[in-house]
C-alpha cells in the first residue's frame, strides 16, 4: 500500500518543481524520460515477457488491448484527416487514448474488486497487451507522425534504435524459445521495475498543468470518452460472444479496457513532442475521472 503513496508524492513533486522559479524543467524531463525509456522499460521487458507461456488460451484477454489500440488509431486517424487536426494531436490521441493503464491503476483496482483471482487476467492484458503495444506500435505511430517531411527510410532505423523496442524483440524471442530470464537478475530488474510508476508520475507532474482552456478542449474529452466509455463498450459487445459475461475473465477484460489512459503512453507522446500538454492531461486528470466511471462499469458488470 506504500507504493501508490510514493507514486502520488512524485506526482506532486513534479507539480511543485515545474512552478519553482529557476528550476530547469525541460532538462529534468529529458533525464527522467531517458531513465524510463533506456533503463526501466527494457528492465520490465526482460522481467516479464520471457515468463509468458505462448498459448491460444491467452489470446482472448490480450486481444482486447490490441483491438482497442488499433481502433483508436483508426478512429483518431480518420477524424484527424476529416477535421484537419495537426499530426501531433492526432498521434497523441491515437497513442494515449488507445492504451489503458492496466498495471499501475489496473492491478490494485482489479485486486480490490475481484481479489487475487482476477490478477492473472489483468497481468496478461498488461504484459501481452498494453506493454507490448507501448514498446512497439506506440513507437511506430510516434515515429511516423513526428517525422518531418523528407527521408522516410530513416523511420525504421529510428524505431529499431529505440532501446525498449530492441529489448522487446529480444525478450519475445526468449519467450518463444522457452528461455527464462536468469534468476540472478530478477531482484535487480524487479527493483528497477518498481520505480516505473513514481518516475513516470514525476514526468507527468513536470508537464501537468490545468488551465481553463484545457478543460474546454474537445481533444481531451474525445480522447477520454474513447478510453473510459467507447473502448469498454466495444469490448463488452464483442467479447460477450466468446466469453461468459458472468465469468471473471470477461469482467476483468472489460474493466481493464475501461482504465484511464496509460501513463507510459503519455510519456511516449511527450518524448516525441506529440501534444505533450494534452498527453499529460489525459493520463493525469484521466485517472481522477476514471474513479467514477470504473465504479459505474463495476456496477454494470455485476
Cell numbers placing 20: 519553482
SS (H, E, C) 81-130: HHHCCCHHHHHHHHHHCCCECCCCCHHHHHHHHHCHHHHHHHHHHHHHHH
Q: What is the mean pLDDT of residues 100-125?
A: 82
What distance lies between CA 247 and its chain's CA centroid? 26
Cell numbers placing 248: 471473471
Q: What is the mean pLDDT of residues 205-230?
A: 86
Q: What is the mean pLDDT of residues 90-116?
A: 88
Q: What is the mean pLDDT of residues 98-122?
A: 83
User: In this predicted model, which residue has the larger pLDDT, 89 or 200?
Assistant: 89
Label residue 99 left, alpha or beta by phi (over 0 means left) and psi (-120 to 50 means alpha). Answer: beta
Q: What is the mean pLDDT of residues 212-241?
A: 92
Model confidence at 150, in pLDDT bands (50, 70, 90)? Answer: very low
Percent of the chain past pLDDT 70, that is, above it, reads: 89
Residue 15, number of CB atoms within 10 A of its CB: 18
| C-alpha to C-alpha distance for 92 and 94, rounded to whole angstroms | 6
Helix, strand counts (H, E) of the chain: 19, 0
Q: Is the pLDDT confidence value at 188 over 80?
A: yes
User: In this predicted model, which residue has the larger pLDDT, 270 or 120?
Assistant: 270
Model confidence at 90, in pLDDT bands (50, 70, 90)? Answer: very high
Region of poorest pLDDT, from 23-37, 198-212, 287-301: 198-212
Which pLDDT does position 75 carry in this prediction? 97
Residues present in the chain in total = 302
Percent of the chain past pLDDT 90, that is, above it, reads: 32
State the sign of the Cα–Cα–Cα–Cα dihedral 132, 133, 135, 137. positive
Q: Return the closest-CA partner of residue 120 out of 130, 109, 112, 111.
A: 111
DSSP, collapsed to helix, strand or coil, labels residue 70 as: helix
Model confidence at 149, in pLDDT bands (50, 70, 90)? Answer: low
* Local structure of residue 149 (DSSP, 8 states): S
Which residues have a Cβ under 8 Å from the Cβ of 282 and sit 6 or more positions away? 92, 96, 97, 220, 223, 224, 227, 261, 266
| C-alpha to C-alpha distance for 269 and 202, rounded to whole angstroms | 15
| C-alpha to C-alpha distance for 5 and 132, rounded to whole angstroms | 27
Q: What is the mean pLDDT of residues 89-118?
A: 88
Cell numbers placing 18: 515545474
Q: Return the closest-CA partner of residue 49 out of 166, 216, 202, 196.
A: 166
Torsions phi, psi of 261, nearest 5?
Answer: -55, 145
Model confidence at 3, in pLDDT bands (50, 70, 90)? Answer: low
Amino acid at each position: 500500500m506504500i507504493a501508490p503513496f510514493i507514486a502520488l508524492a512524485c506526482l506532486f513533486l513534479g507539480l511543485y518543481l515545474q512552478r519553482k522559479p529557476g528550476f530547469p524543467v525541460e532538462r529534468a524531463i529529458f533525464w527522467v524520460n531517458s531513465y524510463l525509456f533506456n533503463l526501466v522499460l527494457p528492465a520490465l521487458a526482460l522481467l516479464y515477457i520471457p515468463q509468458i507461456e505462448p498459448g491460444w488460451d491467452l489470446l482472448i484477454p490480450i486481444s482486447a488491448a490490441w483491438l482497442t489500440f488499433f481502433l483508436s488509431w483508426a478512429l483518431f486517424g480518420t477524424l484527424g484527416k476529416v477535421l484537419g487536426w495537426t499530426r501531433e494531436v492526432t498521434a497523441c490521441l491515437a497513442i494515449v487514448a488507445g492504451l489503458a493503464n492496466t498495471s499501475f491503476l489496473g492491478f490494485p483496482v482489479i485486486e480490490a474488486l475481484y481479489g487475487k483471482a482476477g490478477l492473472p487476467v489483468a497481468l496478461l492484458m498488461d504484459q501481452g497487451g498494453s506493454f507490448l503495444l507501448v514498446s512497439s506500435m506506440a513507437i511506430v505511430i510516434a515515429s511516423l507522425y513526428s517525422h518531418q517531411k523528407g527521408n522516410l527510410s530513416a523511420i525504421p532505423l529510428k524505431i529499431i534504435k529505440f532501446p525498449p523496442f530492441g529489448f522487446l524483440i529480444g525478450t519475445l524471442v526468449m519467450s518463444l524459445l522457452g528461455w527464462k530470464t536468469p534468476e540472478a537478475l530478477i531482484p535487480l530488474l524487479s527493483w528497477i521495475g518498481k520505480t516505473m510508476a513514481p518516475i513516470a508520475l514525476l514526468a507527468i507532474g513536470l508537464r501537468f498543468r490545468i488551465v481553463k482552456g484545457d478543460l474546454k478542449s474537445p481533444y481531451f474529452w474525445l480522447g477520454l470518452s474513447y478510453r473510459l466509455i467507447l473502448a469498454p463498450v466495444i469490448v463488452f459487445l464483442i467479447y460477450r460472444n466468446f466469453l461468459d459475461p458472468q465469468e471473471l475473465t470477461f469482467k476483468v477484460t472489460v474493466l481493464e479496457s475501461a482504465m484511464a489512459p496509460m501513463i507510459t503512453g503519455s510519456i511516449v507522446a511527450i518524448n516525441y513532442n506529440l501534444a505533450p500538454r494534452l498527453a499529460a492531461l489525459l493520463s493525469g486528470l484521466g485517472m481522477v475521472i476514471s474513479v467514477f466511471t470504473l465504479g459505474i462499469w463495476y456496477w454494470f458488470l455485476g
